[in-house]
Amino acid sequence: MSILSGKNVLLGITAGIAAYKTAALVRLFIKSGAQVKVVMTPASKDFITPLTLSTLSKNPVLSSFTNEDDTDAVWNNHVDLGLWADIFVIAPATANTMSKMANGSSDNLLLATYLSAKCPVYFAPAMDLDMYKHNSTKASFDKLQSFGNVMIPATSGELASGLVGEGRMAEPEDIITFLENDILGKLPLKGKKVLITAGPTYEAIDPVRFIGNHSSGKMGFEIAKASANLGAEVILITGPTHQKISHSLINVVPVTSAEDMYQQVHKYFDTVAIAILSAAVADFTPKEVSAKKIKKTSDTLKLELKRTKDILASIGETKKNQFLVGFALETHNELENAIGKLKKKNLNLIVLNSLQDKGAGFKGDTNKVTFIDNKSTVTEFQLKSKAEVAEDLLNEIVKQTHA
């Protein structure tokens, strides 16, 4: 999965011959999992049709503040467009448009949207050789970058005039690669490894039966996504679950039992900077596992259970500089029990869920949590989606590890 997956990408197209490449660029954005909207300068429609781009992006293409052919014209709000976008990419960016951007001119919808945008702005210059080298163009490059805009460098090659040199817009594939690398390079967990456990464990009784719990793995999988979206290389060790995940930065390690999970956690723990153990690991496992299916010979069945190895405590004892996060699912004396677990297992942070809270706990899409750190700071949250809880957790970890 690309780092662009789930992002809202606004593509601005200006009036250069390289506009013909934007059809391929839109396709690549869609393929990467992004949502795409296109805003064009009026003159750019001479180079590629809005119909082509709207068909590929699956969104209407905008080029003016109102649709002049519509007697009941609706205002195309440049502020809303700018707020919608997670990334604004202007490609091709002509010398004319860049000069207007640099000097605050706002004579079309694209420029008004640019001046309203709160998101990162990327621009991919495209023009002929002499225009590219002109001092006024260089001044636009410098000014735009001083605003925090990111330039996607033009390449050298044959230009529309027949000249050969700088000014050719980067190819669509290269623009995508540039964006992915730039975004990843600025993410707070770039270069860090994060270990996450998720889901239940199944403790075998015989070849067909097991002891398990109701954990769906949703919380752990959302934490994995949130970690990867901040640039981390994620090792996701998961018990049996129906959850699916596909991301280039997430390595899924499936396990079944508590012992399996113990072995895999210890295999990877020394290599990571952060470990978040959200799995619902069984506390007990059958002392003896029958090699054959147990037959119903009476109305009762007695099982002798033994304690499983405490994964969280074991790595808490051996941790060096790792930031260690545990979860506590409690039904009574919640805060007292969570603080006790935090201290006993040498954690940096513990996430408390209470089964007393409606909407929290196993299987659902929501959770209500409290964070408690090793400085006794308690932060309570309202009921949120598990995706939002995961983002809150990663933001807290980033804040504490970057302090």
- CATH number, domain with residue 364: 3.40.50.10300
Residues 270 and 165 in one domain: no
Q: Which tens digit of pLDDT belongs to each residue from 311-356?
A: 999 999 999 999 999 999 877 788 899 999 999 999 999 999 876 6
Rounded distance between C-alpha atoms, residue 255 and residue 184, angstroms? 30
Q: Specify the CATH number for the domain of residue 151.
A: 3.40.50.1950
**Segment of 64-78, 111-125, 296-310 carrying the highest mean pLDDT:** 111-125
Q: How many domains does the chain have?
A: 2
- Final residue of a structural domain among 186, 215, 242: 186
Residues 326 and 228 in one domain: yes
What pLDDT, on the 0 to 100 scale, is given for residue 362? 64
Residues 26 and 156 in one domain: yes
Residues 90 and 202 in one domain: no
Q: Is residue 20 part of a domain?
A: yes
- Final residue of a structural domain among 186, 221, 237: 186
Tokens of 310: 């405490």
Q: Is residue 2 part of a domain?
A: no
Residues 128 and 224 in one domain: no
What pLDDT, on the 0 to 100 scale, is given for residue 166? 81
Residues with catalytic roles: 213
Tokens of 58: 């699956």
In which band, very low, low, confident or very high, does the pLDDT at 357 lie, cut at 50, 70 and 90? low
Percentage of the chain beyond pLDDT 70 is 94
Domain extent for 276: 193-401
Of 159, 161, 179, the residue nearest 91 (C-alpha)? 179
Of 161, 158, 11, 166, the residue nearest 93 (C-alpha)? 11
Taking phi over 0 as left and psi of -120 to 50 as alpha, with beta for the rest, 6 belongs to left
3-state secondary structure at position 251? strand
3-state helix, strand, coil in the chain (%, to 5): 35, 25, 40
* More reliable by pLDDT, 362 or 148: 148
Rounded distance between C-alpha atoms, residue 148 and residue 144, angstroms? 7
Residues 293 and 318 in one domain: yes
Residues 137 and 214 in one domain: no
Residues 156 and 252 in one domain: no
Residues 270 and 300 in one domain: yes
244 Cα distance to chain centroid: 15
pLDDT exceeds 90 at position 259: yes
Tell me the CA distances in angstroms from 194 to 71, 86, 157, one per residue in order.
56, 25, 42
Q: Is residue 1 part of a domain?
A: no
Query: Is this prediction's pTM over 0.85?
Result: no
Residues 172 and 201 in one domain: no
Residues 203 and 141 in one domain: no
